[in-house]
Amino acid sequence: MLHSRFLASVALSALMLGTLPAASFAETPADTLIQAWSIDDIISLDPAEIFEFTASEIAGNSYETLIGYDPENVSDIFGKAAESWTVSEDGKTISFTMREGRTFASGNPITAEDAVFSLVRAVKLDKSPAFIIGQLGMTPDNVEANIVQTGPMTFDFKMDKAYAPTLVLYCLTATVASVVDKKLVMEHEANGDYGYDWLKTNYAGSGPFTIKDWRPNEAVILERNAAYSGDAPPMARVIYRHIPETATQRLLLEKGDIDIARNLTAVDIKALEADPEVKIESGVKGSLYYLGLNQKNQYLAKPEVREAMKYLIDYTTIADTIMAGKVKVHQGFLPEGFLGAYDETPFALDIEKAKALLAEAGLAEGFKVTMDTRNTPEITAMAQAMQQTMAQAGIELELIPGDGKQTLTKYRARTHDIYIGRWGPDFQDPHTNASTFAYNIDNSDEASAKPLAWRNAWDIPELSASTDAAMLEPDAAKRAEMYLAAQKEVLATGPFVIYAQEIEVFGERKNVEGVIIGPSFNDNNFAHVTK
């Protein structure tokens, strides 16, 4: 109640301000951070199910994972809920020790029992992100035998193979490995659902903030967690308001009705740079923008055509104009900041070279091909820019627009020609992207695993084998070499035209300090924000 009244007063003051002279602005309450963001992607607040951008960020600020890393230096891994760990001789078992004397927001102590429960629960519920733990050899049937409590504050994590320890630890930094309050969750269990129905819309964590309220397509309210073991966050509340229109976000920010605008376009960013009351902060994200060329298409299956396509994208122009400030040119399948990331950009727009390659493939006359395009302004604009450059080499690119679900459904059924998409890594280990861009062990239509290479019908038994090998390589330097080689191979012959890496941009009021924009969404942190 208190909060709805509070929100109402915010709304009311915003309304009244509309009538005041433009020079003045509404001030948000001093202990409350208000953000405008398109939050319609949230489908659940249960860490075992969260796999969306917005919900990940909320989980990152309200739950604690077993392991964490420094967002500014991803290779610096440390224990969060876990204090320490040891890897067994054969590399198949990792023993964790939990930190002493910590409690959940509910007041219950955090023990190894909660950690084991959380991991087992995630695998058993088997929602979208469950594979992150599942890929380490855990199945709903064997997980209880493999993740076992060995003492009040210790537990063992037994895997089927000796996976690279960094891979395992990075998997345990994902939101799916958040520690949930067993006692609280089990109080709300119904029909053996591990409290899933309840936790979908409730909270049972130990992070700097608690999730107070989520009203779909309206707002999410986080409140300071009094029982948090770290420094208490300066902000008593963090409020996300669902404001899908970017122009509205910008106007609210300019007027001071919000503290942070999250969905600014390149045009907004440029205009706001001149506003003395506003500052722009950005951080490189792990998401990659790419084209997927379906190898079932007779033209795209030709290696020369695949290479030619990589010469027909005006990489720098797209990054400097349509997406100015929001992307940087990137071509390897591992985003900058990852172990073994290949940061060189060997391809640039070269119409003549592309024409020569097409002629080599016997397609000097060009050909016609379709591209499934999500109808968001940015994707459409980039697609149109590509349409223009490809036309110069005789390739007639027909755009088929659709909403995210339509285009993705078609892509997953691999009935597309070209798909223009965006891929976000699931965790910070290079395996997350290698396992999708450079892995396809079964190229049949009935395959059970459907990585991006499968979606584009790219049959690569050898590359898949080396991806498997890299997953098991314990030496980090050697692993990096293996991934570098895989990236060069995919870049040279693969059906992926990776053209940009995302930069996330925050438009903030001048007085907002201490926002951390991390490489993935659950790293965006507001625990130290002051204003």
Partner 1 sequence: MTMTRDWLLSERPASRRQARIGQIYRTWLAFRGNGLALFGACIVLALVVVAILAPWLAPHDPLIGDLNHTRLLPPLTEGYWLGTDEQGRDILSRLLHGARITLAVVALVAVIATPVGLLVGTTAGYFGGWVDTVLMRITDIVLAFPKLILALAFVAALGPGIENAIIAISITAWPPYARLARAETLTIRNSDFIAATKLQGASSARIIWKHVVPLCLSSVIVRVTLDMAGIILTAAGLGFLGLGAQPPQPEWGAMIAGGRNFLVDYWWVATMPGLAIFTVSLGFNLLGDGLRDVLDPRGRK
Q: Provide the 8-state DSSP code for 335.
A: P
Query: Is position 385 an interface residue for partner 1 (rule: CB under 8 A)?
Result: yes
Which residue among 384, 409, 493, 530 contacts partner 1 (CB under 8 A)? 384
Angle CA(51)–CA(69)–CA(239) in degrees, nearest 5?
55
Residue 15 makes CB contacts below 8 A (sequence gap 6+) with none
Minimal distance, residue 422 CB to partner 1, in Å: 18
Q: Which is nearer to partner 1, 246 or 456 (CB)?
A: 246
Within 358-377, the residues that bind partner 1 by CB under 8 A are 375, 377
Per CB under 8 A, the segment of 77-85, 395-403, 425-433, 508-516 that binds partner 1 is: 395-403
Q: Which of 192, 190, 213, 193 is nearest to 202 (CA)?
A: 213
Q: What character string, x for contact with partner 1 (CB under 8 A) and - otherwise, covers 257-296?
A: --------x-xx-xx-------------------------
> Hey, which residues between 320 and 359 contact partner 1 (CB under 8 A)?
320-322
For residue 513, the minimal CB distance to partner 1 (Å) is 27
Any idea how long the chain is?
Answer: 531
Shortest distance (Å) from residue 417 CB to partner 1: 15
Q: Minimal distance in Å, beta carbon 311 to partner 1?
A: 17
Using CB under 8 A as the criterion, what x/- string covers residues 306-325 for binding partner 1? --------x--xx-xxx---
Residue number with CB closer to partner 1 (128 or 263): 263
**Minimum CB distance to partner 1, residue 391 (Å):** 7
Residue type, 277: E
Query: Measured between alpha carbons, how far is 435 from 454 in angstroms, rounded to an integer?
Result: 11
Q: Which is nearer to partner 1, 271 or 476 (CB)?
A: 271
CB 187 within 8 A of CB 114: no
**Cβ distance to partner 1 smaller for residue 138 or 266:** 266
Phi-psi group of 256: left, alpha or beta (phi > 0 → left; psi -120 to 50 → alpha; rest → beta): left
SS3 content of the chain, % helix, strand, coil (to 5): 35, 25, 45
User: Contacts with partner 1 in 406-425 (CB under 8 A)?
Assistant: none
CB contact at 8 A, 497 and 418: no
In whole angstroms, how close is the CB of 377 to partner 1 at the nearest point?
5
Give the DSSP letter string of 49-104.
T--SHHHHHHHHHH--BSEEEETTEEEEEEESSEEEEEE-TTSSEEEEEEPSS-B-
Contact status, residue 200 vs residue 180, Cβ threshold 8 Å: no
Which residues sit at the interface with partner 1, rule CB under 8 A? 246-247, 250-251, 265, 267-268, 270-271, 314, 317-318, 320-322, 375, 377, 380-381, 383-385, 387-388, 391, 398-401
